[in-house]
Each structure stands twice: as C-alpha cells, then as structure tokens.
Amino acid sequence: MKKWLIASYNLEVGGIEKALVNLLKNIPQEYEITLLLQEEKGTLLEQLPQNIIRKTYTISKSRWKLLRKIYNRLHLIAFILKNYHHYDGAICYATYDIPSSILTRYLGKKSILWIHSNYVMAYRDSEKVKAFFDQRKISKFDQWVFVSEEAKKDLEPFYPMVKEAKVINNLIDFDEIKRKAQERIKEKKEKNTLLFVGRLEESSKGLFRLLEIMKQYQEQKIERHLWLVGDGPDREKYETYCQENNLHNVRFLGMKKNPYAYMEQCDVLMLPSYYEGFPVVILEALSLGKKVVTTIDVSCEGLNLKEYVYLTKREATKLQKTIDFALTDQGKKKFDCLTFNQLNLVKTLALLGDENEI
C-alpha cells in the first residue's frame, strides 16, 4: 500500500481547501493518505473521508519572537527526525505555507509542490515572484503540479525546470453541489440576476468594473441585479461606492456556507478577474447548468473552456456587452462533469503511483 502525506494549513472554506477535500474524497482506499494540518479546524473537516489519517503540526505563535523562533526550529527538527522519509511521497498542497513546503521535502521519499495560483500575475514584480518561490525552495522539489496551464507557462521563465511540471485541474464534488443547490434561501429570485462568489478584493477580482456596469444599467433603467456572495478586504470600499451612487441593483450577501443555493437562483455567474489559478467556481456553476461570463481562460487538455462559457476581455465595455449577450443566448455546450473529473483523477493517481507511471 502506497503511503502519502498531504500538508496544508487548515480546512476553512476556501478554493484551495475545497479542492483538497474533493481530491481526498476521490483517492481510492488502497492508498494510505495522511493529512497534515497546522490548524485542525474549519467547516470542511466534517467532509473528510473516514479513511484519511489526520495529524497536526502546530507552530508557536508566542508574542516573544526569540522564544517563538527557538521553539519552532527545535519542533521542526524533532518532527523531521521522527518522520524522515516515512512516506512514499509528500505533497505541499497549500503553496503559500512555508512549514508545509519544508516538511514535505523531508517526510516523503518524493516531494511535490502544488501551485494553485498564477503568482506572476498576482505579484507583477519579478523580484517578488522569485522571493516567494525561493523561500519555498521550489527547486528542491522532485515534481510540481499546476492547476492551470497559464500559471505554468508564466512561471517557466523564472524556473525552467517547471516545464516538466504536470497540469491537473481541481476536482469537483458535483453530487454535493446539486444537493446543496436545492436548499432554500430567504433572498427572492430577481429577473436577470448576476452572481459573483468569492473574495471581495480588487487587485485580483476587479469588481469595481462590475459595479460601474451596474451603475450604467440603473441609469439606463435596464433591469439587471448583482448579488455578491463572499467577503474580503475591499468590501467596505465596494459598499461605499454603491451608497454614493445610490445603487439599488447590488446586494452584498456576505459569506455563505452554501453558495450553491445562490447559484441555483442566478441567471449568470460572473468572474471578471484579472488573474486566477484554476477557478473552481466556474465548474461549480456549469455543473448546475448556469451561464458563466468570465475573463479567465483556463482551457487545457480535455477542457476547451470557450465551448462552455462566455469568455470576454477585461475592459468594462466588453464585459457589459458579453453580459447582455449571455442573458439571451442559448448556444453553449453542456458541461460533462463525470468525464472532466475522471480525466484529472487519472492524472493525480499517476503521481501517487510508481515513478515509471508518471
């Protein structure tokens, strides 16, 4: 039986965490999987399969810097010595987490770094990109996995060895999505409702363009509604903009444990981001038969996204025209959930197998 360790931070609701839980649900039981978390907390913990072994690696958060550093260094050394090469392989699943990146390189006979976002687009600064990945010792890993082809190609000039990396899209739990979509919500469905689900943060999501479009609709007396599900550092700025412009067609619904019930009520899911890793929310909406307008193209092997979504430019005028077209058009292909999941599961299991299978 192959023994693998997967390291992450916690299982609070988030894109990386949801993707991790979906992956763990699909790995066959002939693999012995240990999930190593720094914080054993989060609403997604209850969704973990019973066969997954749980372990916790805690770090000190003492306000005394010297004491904290000494404890964490000794704890790290002791943990590595106790578990050195205990696993056939280890995956650092939370790209951002430095302790996970260190532990996985020592605890597994083979180490894999899972890269969930396009950090070149996120930082837009070569020195910051290099600093981020150098700190995580990217070159010390045996294998790399990207969740989008774009993220891989953008990082190749910085680290040529990632040309050998695999691209594996996140798996989706379609049965759970469809079940949760049937739950009732207090908000009443409105005609021509656009929905955004995610972090309310301008630098990556670019939501001010959506708000400007909603302002245009209201001034022109065109019936459109925007629901925003989520929270983030720029929520107050967005709310202030809506108040100053007296926008009645925008609703801030906050964080929701079950966003799928809101997807079920919308007409079009919106993802106007400047950059993303692999936006799971697109596939979640497609699995419910919803239209999707997005600026992000994550087409890859087995998935030509343009066949399923309304792909558009990032400019507000182009975005608005695409929204109007999507609301009336019926021409997109139906998304095959099962085929998509199976393709990416096969790629993942190849990573967990013998080296000659990869």
More confident residue, 195 or 352: 195
Q: Is 5 in contact with 90 (CB distance < 8 Å)?
A: yes
Check pLDDT > 70 for residue 81. yes
pLDDT band at 349 (very low <50, low <70, confident <90, very high): very high
**Segment 268-271 long-range contacts (CB within 8 Å, at least 24 positions apart):** 268/193, 268/194, 268/195, 268/292, 268/293, 268/323, 268/326, 268/327, 269/194, 269/195, 269/196, 269/197, 269/293, 270/194, 270/195, 270/196, 270/210, 270/226, 270/294, 270/323, 271/196, 271/198, 271/295, 271/296
Section 154-165 average pLDDT: 96
For residue 10, what are the CA distances in angstroms to 38, 94, 187, 279? 6, 9, 31, 20
Check pLDDT > 60 for residue 325. yes
Check pLDDT > 90 for residue 94. yes
pLDDT band at 150 (very low <50, low <70, confident <90, very high): confident
Rounded to the nearest 5 percent, the helix, strand and coil shares of the chain are 45, 15, 40
pLDDT band at 266 (very low <50, low <70, confident <90, very high): very high
pLDDT band at 331 (very low <50, low <70, confident <90, very high): confident
Q: Which CATH number fits domain 174-335: 2.40.128.260, 2.120.10.30, 3.40.50.300, 3.40.50.2000?
A: 3.40.50.2000
Q: What is the mean pLDDT of the chain?
A: 92
Check pLDDT > 50 for residue 358. no
Q: What is the pLDDT of residue 301?
A: 67
Check pLDDT > 70 for residue 355. no
Check pLDDT > 90 for residue 53. yes
Q: CATH topology for 3-167? A: Rossmann fold (3.40.50)
Q: Is 231 in contact with 253 (CB distance < 8 Å)?
A: no
pLDDT band at 356 (very low <50, low <70, confident <90, very high): very low
Boundaries of every domain in the chain = 3-167, 174-335
Q: What is the pLDDT of residue 277?
A: 72
Instruction: Express each pLDDT in 102-135 by its tens digit.
Output: 999 999 999 999 999 889 988 889 999 999 999 9
Same fold, 3-167 and 174-335: yes
